[in-house]
Each structure stands twice: as structure tokens, then as C-alpha cells.
Amino acid sequence: MGKKRAREMTRSSGRSRGGHAAPDLLVVIVGPTAVGKTDVSVEVAARLGGEVVSADSMQVYRHMDIGTAKPSPAERARVPHHLIDVADPGETFNVARFQELAQAAMDDIMARGRFPLLVGGTGLYVKAVVDGFLFPWEGASPELRKELQEEAERLGAPALHARLEEVDPVAARRIHPNDARRIIRALEVYATTGRPISEMWRMGRRGGFRIDRLVMIGLVRNREALYERIDRRCDLMMEQGLVDETRRLLEQGYERALTAGQALGYKEIVEHLQGRCPLDEAVETIKRNTRRYAKRQLTWFRADPRIKWVDLGSLATVSEAATCLIALVRGKLAAMQNVEG
């Protein structure tokens, strides 16, 4: 797509860089590690006038650059990236904090008339933003919950379900009349927040994005090609200095963060640095564990029917892949305009 066509898309989408609000559309790009999300998303964002919100549970940490395959300085200069380097390695960073920061970043991006692109491979982080699920402590009232539990024991769950039908018929249709736990939770949320839990499911706790204003794209390659890319990335990380980066982090006192279950790449190098295995064995372990992680990522994302899959192996260049993704975004924008027109 040339510059002229890109400008036409900008005009047709209703955005402008002169202060007009961007359409209420979230573009999500997911896929397994090493599939090529960074290259493609940067190209798409550059053409759309968008900004990337990283959905990677490890790229949030400062000083962990090589092992997390963060976008390069050149890529970050070309397209603004958010939620990278927002926490220290020893700092607690969970999905609730990510959800809050991601929503704030997207609100800011859209207020400036630009597209937010949520890009990454951490499925739970993506789900937290897209579906805005409630965390256990939200809309909670232990006293009310105890009263409802006692009432359910005395009158039966169907009696509470009938009450739920009155205040939230959508939730009542999704929750079985005998599912006392979920009925009580829905009534508790409604009584505490004044909002039906079904509305929170649909819109997300912090605003969220409606299903009709969401385009989710998954990037994939055949297994052999993906595994080759994983192996090449691991070799490149070693060339870039992953061992030295890990050593510096250990010296700064971040051993606990580096040996956590999700610190893929670092925990294996720590084993080597602490004399428990030779370097070549550590590298092979990184490759094996990364392949397993990629498989888990694909299993997670394939369970979401909203994702439209694009096989990068069938596309010759990053530019061609970006054009394919932009066509999907344009199709969603056109459908939105038809509905609203």
C-alpha cells in the first residue's frame, strides 16, 4: 500500500491528526513467540497512524532487553510503543496492573486521534483488556455474599436466579439456575456497583471494547518454520549478549525475578552462570522451552473464535503481510460505518 492509499484510509476511517477522535476500534495482533509480530505490527501501525500497546508480560521490565526481544530503538522511534520498561525486575507486576495501564494508554492514544494496536503473546494480558474480566476483589461485599449464601441454602438457588432475571436477564440466561456461586456473584456485583455483571462482561470493567468494535488478528507459520525462527532468535540473543545481560541483572540483585517460571531465557542462563550446566546445554534448553511456550500460546489463542488467522508463511514480505492486516482493519471499519450509517 502506497502513501496515497494510506492517506485515503485515514480519511475514510474518520480519524485525523488535527484533534478529531479516532474510531472506537481496537486492533489486536497476537501469535506465538518469534512468529513476527513486532515487524508486522510496526509496519501496520506506521501506515495507520497507530501506536503499539505491548501485551508481553516480560517486556514490562526494565533492563531485561535481549531476553525479552523488545522492539529495537529504531522500531520504537518509528512507532510509539507503550507498556515497555514500566517496572523494575524485582517489582510485582500483575494482570490487574497491566489492565489498568493498558486502558489508560489506549484512552490516551485514541484521544489524540490515533489507532491503538494491542500486540503481544501473553494471552491473559490480552484477555484482560479485550474482555475486561472482573477480578475477584471487584464488586465484592463479604457481608452481602454471606447473606445471599444463607438465602440460597434456605430458599434454593433457583429463587435467587429468579431475582437475577429481574435485574440482569442477560446474565440469567448465561448462568444455570442451580449455579448458586455464579448467581450470588452476579447479584453481589449488581448490588455493590449498581451495574449488571453482564454489562461488565460486554464492555469490560474499565470501559473495554464492544465485540463489534474489535478486530483480532492472529499471526501463524507452519511448525517447522516457526521452530527455525525460534532457534535463530535464541542464537541471535546469545550473539547480542544475553549472558552478560543476565550476569548484570544478577549483580543488581534480581535473581528471584530471573529464575521465576515466566523468565524464559534468563532462568536457563542463570543455571549456567551458577555452574549447574554448560552454556551449550543452557542454549538448547532455552530453544526447547521456547518451542513449548509457543505451543501453549497457540493453544490459548486458537480457543478464541474472534481471531482471524493470517499465515505469514504464505506472504513474501513484511510489507505484504501488513497490507493483508490493514485490509482486515479496513473491512471492520467499513462494517462499522454501514451499521452506524
Any idea where the domains of the chain sit in the sequence?
A: 3-133+206-222+301-340, 142-203
The yes-or-no answer to whether 3-133+206-222+301-340 and 142-203 have a common fold is: no
Confidence band for 99, pLDDT divided at 50, 70 and 90: confident
Cell numbers 526481544 correspond to 69
- Residues contacting residue 338 through CB under 8 Å, at least 6 positions apart: none
- pLDDT tens for each residue of 127-141: 888 887 655 555 567
Confidence at residue 188, expressed as pLDDT on a 0 to 100 scale: 87
Contact indicator for 34, 121 with CB cutoff of 8 Å: no
Strands 115-120, 26-30: pairing is: parallel
Average pLDDT value for residue range 281-303: 96
What does the alpha-carbon distance between residue 126 and residue 261 come to, in Å, rounded to a whole number?
19
Confidence at residue 210, expressed as pLDDT on a 0 to 100 scale: 56
Confidence at residue 155, expressed as pLDDT on a 0 to 100 scale: 92
Confidence at residue 195, expressed as pLDDT on a 0 to 100 scale: 75
Cell numbers 449488581 correspond to 190
- Residues contacting residue 228 through CB under 8 Å, at least 6 positions apart: none
One CATH from 3.40.50.720, 1.10.20.140, 2.10.10.90, 3.20.20.140 for 142-203? 1.10.20.140
The one-letter code for the residue type at 206 is R
What does the alpha-carbon distance between residue 59 and residue 65 come to, in Å, rounded to a whole number?
7
Report how far Cα 117 is from the mean position of its chain's Cα atoms. 10
**Cell of residue 132, nine digits:** 475486561
Confidence band for 312, pLDDT divided at 50, 70 and 90: very high
- Residues contacting residue 60 through CB under 8 Å, at least 6 positions apart: 54, 83, 84, 85, 86, 87, 93, 98
> Angle at Cα 165 formed by Cα 144 and Cα 203, nearest 5°?
80
Query: Is the pLDDT score of 58 beyond 70?
Result: yes
Highest mean pLDDT among 160-174, 175-189, 238-252: 238-252
Query: Is the pLDDT score of 9 beyond 50?
Result: no
Confidence at residue 209, expressed as pLDDT on a 0 to 100 scale: 57
What does the alpha-carbon distance between residue 218 and residue 41 come to, in Å, rounded to a whole number?
11
Average pLDDT value for residue range 223-233: 97
Terminal-to-terminal C-alpha distance of the chain = 27
Higher pLDDT, 262 or 270: 270
**Cell of residue 272, nine digits:** 549456567
Query: Is the pLDDT score of 254 beyond 50?
Result: yes
Contact indicator for 168, 202 with CB cutoff of 8 Å: no
Instruction: Give the start-end residues of each E strand in 1-154.
Output: 26-30, 50-54, 81-82, 115-120
Contact indicator for 213, 22 with CB cutoff of 8 Å: no
One CATH from 3.40.190.10, 3.50.50.60, 3.40.50.300, 3.30.360.10 for 3-133+206-222+301-340? 3.40.50.300
Global pTM reads 0.75
Confidence band for 336, pLDDT divided at 50, 70 and 90: confident
Q: Is 50 strand, coil or helix?
A: strand
Query: Is the pLDDT score of 8 beyond 50?
Result: no
- pLDDT tens for each residue of 192-220: 877 788 876 665 444 455 556 889 999 99
What does the alpha-carbon distance between residue 303 and residue 307 come to, in Å, rounded to a whole number?
9
Query: Is the pLDDT score of 5 beyond 70?
Result: no
CA-only gyration radius of the chain, Å: 23
